[in-house]
Amino acid sequence: MTAVKTHRKIDKTLSGSPVVIDKGYAVVKLKTVPQMVVDEKGLVHGGFIFSAADYSAMLAVNHPNVVLARAEVNFIKPVSVGDEVEFTAQVEKREGKKNYVKVLGKKNNEIVFEGEFLCIVPDKHVLEKT
């Protein structure tokens, strides 16, 4: 597995843990926990699902300066507390600083999430002063 070069301080409990990182490809597993629940039935908030998907896209690019510019996503099936969701991210195209990443989230081999992420790699960190 390639070393993690981005998002090194992310909370893996809330955004998932890397399982595979390779050039242009990453897999992140998210084990859902009670802190993610929005109601008495155990529904997991979609923001946590999105966070893990975004994290997998960032790891597929795996550059210290990578940031998300745009995402088009579909939440296909609900996720419940205790579910484990595996996100696979694949860089499909690169155009200069732009990386187009496809992400699929699956639980029990069923797709629960899909998205297209535009990840940009600026020359310097977005918070670095000019």
In angstroms, the CA 42 to CA 105 distance is 19
Give the model's pLDDT for residue 96.
97
Q: Give the DSSP H or E segment for 12.
A: helix 12-15
What parts of the chain have a pLDDT lower than 70? none
| 96 C-beta neighbours (distance < 10 Å), count | 7
Task: Report the length, in residues, of the chain.
Answer: 130
What's 12-120's CATH class?
alpha beta
Instruction: Decide: 53 and 115 in contact? Cβ < 8 Å.
Output: yes
In angstroms, the CA 74 to CA 91 distance is 18
pTM for the model: 0.96
